[in-house]
Amino acid sequence: MDPGLLAQYVMNGLMLGMMYALVAVGFTLFFGVLDVIQFSHGDVLTVGAFVALATYIGLRSAGISSSPILLLAMLVVAIGAIATLGLLIARYLVLPLRAAPALNTLLITLTLGTVLRESVRLFYPQGADPKSFPALLPTSSINLGQFNLRLDNVIMLAAGAAVIVGLQLLLNRTKLGLAIRAVAQDEETARTMGINFTAIVLFTFALGSALAAFAGIMNGLYYNEINFGTGLLLGVIGFSAAIVGGLGSIYGAILGGFLFAGLQTIGAVALPFAGAYKDVFAFAVVIALMAWRPTGLIREKISERV
């Protein structure tokens, strides 16, 4: 295996891992504060990507063509819109069902995902076709021997890492983060201590959804294409990654995301005759991991002993 190809695979794996990690962190955040799995997270990501695309088209037709401004505008609009969407989902669909059995919340978020996906397919002009996403990052590449290090990949990796580090800082160094962690640990005590439970939950959902929008834009920039079905698989993979890493732990989610990407890459590399089996391989390993560590790799602090 020549080092150039290997480096290419590694880069690919890192990018995928970053995207999965961002989605998985969203799942972990939602689970942490409300004990709920928000299955529509992946489709929220798709909506974010489409909102960004619509913003781009709108701004281009208004005459703006400077890439940094376009990118910035897309980020701002998509993140703002999707954060609002996340907030609305929490307020009207998840919070009212807190007393219901967990299966109901699971199903309602799953069907919400279908609603979002179908809405994009039906109401966006020619929504069923894949749409090309503009390449707004510099496309030059640095040549390192047999391997071309693309600049836009580096920028995206750095941006993703920065977002995750920023999230960690938010959670660990700010009062807001402290409130989120308190609510995640013990709702009643947090309320007793004067934390506004509803506000924190809504904020967390908005934050997680904003992360999804960012991941959606990253997805679009990386593949130069988006379609209405992207979110479903990304959502399930992100969910599996969060579970494997251990729900409720941000580090677990990041670990799970990169682990899943790593599994896919190993599958693609190690089975050269059957690269298409990489997903089968990755999911099979996930199932085996669940058999070995039923509560995830990084155990929840308090969990049922199995």
Partner 1 sequence: MLPGAAALALATVYVIALLAVEKQPLVIGLLALAIVAVLGADRMGLLASVSRSFAEREDTLGALAILAAFVVAAFFHDNHFVLLLVVTVLIYAVAALGLNIQIGYAGVLNFAGASFFGIGAYTAAVLNAHTAVPHLLVLPTGGLIAALIGSLLLLPVLRTRGHYAAVVTIAFALLFKTFLEVNDVLGGPQGLHVQGMNIFGWSLNDNMAVGDIDLSFYLGYFVVSMAMLVGAFVLVRRLVRSWIGLNLDAMRLDETAAGCFGLDVARWKIIAFTLGNFLIGFAGALFGMVGGFVAPNNYTFADSLLLVSILLLGGIGNPWGLAVATFIVVVVPEKLQTIQEYRFLLYALLVIAVLLFRPEGLLPRPMRRYVAGWRP
Q: Find the part of the chain contacting partner 1 (CB under 8 A) among 50-58, 80-88, 106-114, 208-216.
A: 106-114
Name the residue nearer to partner 1 (CB basis): 178 or 236. 236
Q: Any idea how long the chain is?
A: 306
Sequence-ordered list of residues with C-beta below 8 angstroms from that of 250, at least 6 positions apart, any chain: 25, 28, 29, 167, 168, 171
Our finding on whether 227 is near partner 1 (CB under 8 A) is no
Q: Which of 38, 240, 264, 265 binds partner 1 (CB under 8 A)?
A: 240
CB of 232 to partner 1, least distance (A): 8
168 to 18, 107, 173, 177, 201: CA distances (angstroms): 15, 30, 8, 9, 17
Q: Which of 12, 141, 227, 295 binds partner 1 (CB under 8 A)?
A: 295
The site string for partner 1 over 75-104 (x = CB under 8 A, - otherwise) reads ------------------x--xx--x-xxx
Sequence-ordered list of residues with C-beta below 8 angstroms from that of 60, at least 6 positions apart, any chain: 70
The sign of the torsion formed by the CA atoms of 292, 233, 180, 156 equals positive
Q: How far apart are CA 108 and CA 66, in angstroms?
A: 41
The site string for partner 1 over 243-282 (x = CB under 8 A, - otherwise) reads x---x--------------------------x-xx-xx--
Our finding on whether 302 is near partner 1 (CB under 8 A) is no
Name the residue nearer to partner 1 (CB basis): 213 or 241. 241
Per DSSP, 144 falls in state: E
Residues 202-221 that bind partner 1 (CB under 8 A): none
Q: Which of 37, 83, 180, 182 binds partner 1 (CB under 8 A)?
A: 37
Our finding on whether 157 is near partner 1 (CB under 8 A) is no
Our finding on whether 62 is near partner 1 (CB under 8 A) is no
Q: How far apart are CA 293 and CA 74, in angstroms?
A: 41
Our finding on whether 159 is near partner 1 (CB under 8 A) is no
Q: Find the part of the chain contacting partner 1 (CB under 8 A) among 73-81, 112-120, 137-145, 171-179.
A: 112-120
- Residue 118 contacts residue 80 (beta carbons within 8 Å): no
Our finding on whether 225 is near partner 1 (CB under 8 A) is no
Helices (H), 62-124: 67-89, 102-123
CB of 190 to partner 1, least distance (A): 22
- The H or E element containing residue 9 is helix 3-34
Q: Find the part of the chain contacting partner 1 (CB under 8 A) among 57-65, 109-117, 141-149, 178-186.
A: 109-117
Helices (H), the chain: 3-34, 41-61, 67-89, 102-123, 151-173, 175-185, 187-192, 197-223, 230-245, 250-270, 278-292
- Residue 116 contacts residue 124 (beta carbons within 8 Å): no
DSSP bridge pairs for 69: none
**Would you tell me which residues interact with partner 1 (CB under 8 A)?**
31, 37, 93, 96-97, 100, 102-104, 106-108, 110-112, 114-115, 118-119, 122, 232-233, 236, 239-240, 243, 247, 274, 276-277, 279-280, 283-284, 286-288, 290-291, 294-296, 304, 306
